[in-house]
Homo-oligomer: A and B are copies of this chain.
Amino acid sequence: MSLPTTRTARLATWSSNLTYSTLPDPAIQRTKDLFLDWLGCTIAGRSHPAVTAIVKFVKAMGPTSGKSELVDGQLEFTTSAAFAALVNGAASHVVEQDDLHNGSITHPATVIFPAALAVAQDVGADGKDFITACVVGYEVGCRVGAYFGKSHYENFHSTATAGTLGVAAAAAHLLKLNPEETLSAIGTAGTQAAGLWQFLLDASHSKQVHTGKACSDGIFAAYTARDGLLGTKDILEGPRGMGNALVPGKTKPEAIDGDLGADFEVLRSSFKWHASCRHTHPSVDALLALMGKHAVAFGDIESVLVPTYQAALNVLGMSGTCETVHQSKFSMGFVLAVAAKKGQAMITDFTEEDLKDSQLREFQGRVRMVLDEEIEAAFPARWMGRVIVKTKDGRELEERVGFAKGDPEVTLTRDELETKMRSLARYGGITDGNKVEALIQRAWNLENETDLHGFVF
């Protein structure tokens, strides 16, 4: 088989050929930051009913002993790579604290790490192999997401669609597939890729299905490519491929292979500091900055106008009255209410009690979003925030932020990441602080690990 001269083939070739020794240190360090952040998210989300249902499926359909581990060690079984990734991928996207790659509007960690960890455990990869595969997974998943662009994101959960291809590339790297086989894996991944936003409208559990299945589907694509199943060679740009079928006329082809290797997408992902939908973060930051600067308290605020970008209007407009804790994190009004009242919007700040808080609910009703053409034009390259507050004493105040806390330009420090990790572990019910500290240290020394088993709480 010879390689075609398509953009997708160039991306597959680059992915297959990437080696640890050529990675710049910042990419290595950031990958470790992202991995630790993902571990915390996974343990924090493990008790969600969708995860529980998927665990039952794994017990019914999969082996209950194998080389790959569930991060939730209390489940006390191991399984195969596809099933471990299915569970860990579902768990890590529950608490809305996982990273967000701005340019592609995807959450790469929740698909790349669970899949790469499960495959690394399956094939006995070391820390350097794992880091390299994760860099590949981020690169492919984020570039595909950027190729699809924000138009795709209107209906599709891009983390799942683009993510499946990223998973396939990461798994292919760990399986040491050559460029042709990697291209096959990407093709087979793309023709399985799915995930629609419809679930947001009724607070159902598809979000966990999307990330879990992106993991297992991408792993399926890589293993079967190794074993001779031919994937189509131009799944992105071909006439019946993903671009034409899913984003007709609105793709960005140069995103697929432009400046390959010149920079790394792992360096362009944002950590979440607030526990809500990422589309609320720039506005939360702007509101908190405004309240600090002008000494405005929660009770002083009459109304908040939030000029923002279209994707925020689309996604945040779907949660209706936000009857569940999960939906409440997707309500701009409710999230700003929480932030204004509590001075923060961390994971412990969204509870069933809060849903019944009439002060929060009234504030929620006084928040309105509108489209801001300037912010829309900059999105998704930049996620800017703006709020206009009317106070009860008649003032009109305005604040803007150019980035959200956790964006690549203002990334989290390792101290902040450790703080967030401890908080997520506590939220996940982990009481053994020593174990958490030991896992933190393993993450910081990931490149020296010879065996990737034991990342289990």
Chain A residues in the interface with B (C-beta under 8 A): 49-50, 52-54, 56-57, 60-63, 80-83, 154-156, 184, 187-188, 190-206, 208-210, 213, 217, 219-220, 223-224, 227-235, 238-242, 244-245, 318
**Cβ contact within 8 Å between A242 and B188:** no
**Which residues of chain B are near A234, meaning CB under 8 Å?**
198, 201-202
**Which residues of chain B are near A53, meaning CB under 8 Å?**
224, 227-229
**Cβ contact within 8 Å between A187 and B201:** no
Interface-centre pick from A204, A217, A244 (highest chain B CB count, 10 A): A204
Provided the pairs A61-B83, A187-B206 are in contact, do residues A198 and B229 lie with their beta carbons within 8 angstroms? no
Provided the pairs A196-B241, A205-B229, A228-B53 are in contact, do residues A62 and B60 lie with their beta carbons within 8 angstroms? no
Closest Cβ neighbor of A86 among chain B residues: B220
**Cβ contact within 8 Å between B62 and A238:** no
What is the bound-complex CA distance between A72 and B224, given in angstroms? 19
**Cβ contact within 8 Å between A60 and B223:** yes
Provided the pairs A204-B232, A205-B230 are in contact, do residues A224 and B188 lie with their beta carbons within 8 angstroms? no
**Cβ contact within 8 Å between A232 and B245:** no
**Which residues of chain B are near A61, meaning CB under 8 Å?**
62-63, 80-83, 219, 223
Closest Cβ neighbor of A192 among chain B residues: B194
**Which residues of chain B are near A60, meaning CB under 8 Å?**
80, 223
Closest Cβ neighbor of A314 among chain B residues: B240
**Cβ contact within 8 Å between B227 and A204:** no
**Cβ contact within 8 Å between B194 and A209:** no
**Which residues of chain B are near A156, meaning CB under 8 Å?**
245
Identify A245's interface contact among B155, B188, B235, B240, CB under 8 A: B155
What is the bound-complex CA distance between A205 and B213, given in angstroms? 20
**Cβ contact within 8 Å between B191 and A210:** yes
**Which residues of chain B are near A49, meaning CB under 8 Å?**
228-230
What is the bound-complex CA distance between A240 and B224, given in angstroms? 32
**Cβ contact within 8 Å between B155 and A201:** no
**Which residues of chain B are near A210, meaning CB under 8 Å?**
191
Closest Cβ neighbor of A51 among chain B residues: B229
**Which residues of chain B are near A223, meaning CB under 8 Å?**
56-57, 60-61
Known: A201-B238, A204-B232. 12 other contacts (CB 8 A): A53-B227, A53-B228, A57-B82, A60-B80, A61-B82, A191-B199, A192-B213, A198-B235, A198-B240, A201-B232, A201-B239, A209-B224
**Cβ contact within 8 Å between B240 and A196:** yes
What is the bound-complex CA distance between A286 and B205, given in angstroms? 51
**Which residues of chain B are near A195, meaning CB under 8 Å?**
191-192
Shortest 7 CB-CB contacts between residues of A and residues of B: A53-B229, A155-B245, A197-B240, A53-B227, A204-B230, A199-B232, A61-B80
Provided the pairs A61-B81, A62-B62, A204-B233 are in contact, do residues A56 and B198 lie with their beta carbons within 8 angstroms? no
Closest Cβ neighbor of A161 among chain B residues: B194
What is the bound-complex CA distance between A415 and B49, given in angstroms? 51
**Which residues of chain B are near A193, meaning CB under 8 Å?**
194
**Which residues of chain B are near A198, meaning CB under 8 Å?**
187, 190-191, 232, 234-235, 238-242
- Sample 5 A-B pairs with CB under 8 A, ordered by A number: A56-B224, A56-B227, A198-B232, A205-B229, A213-B220
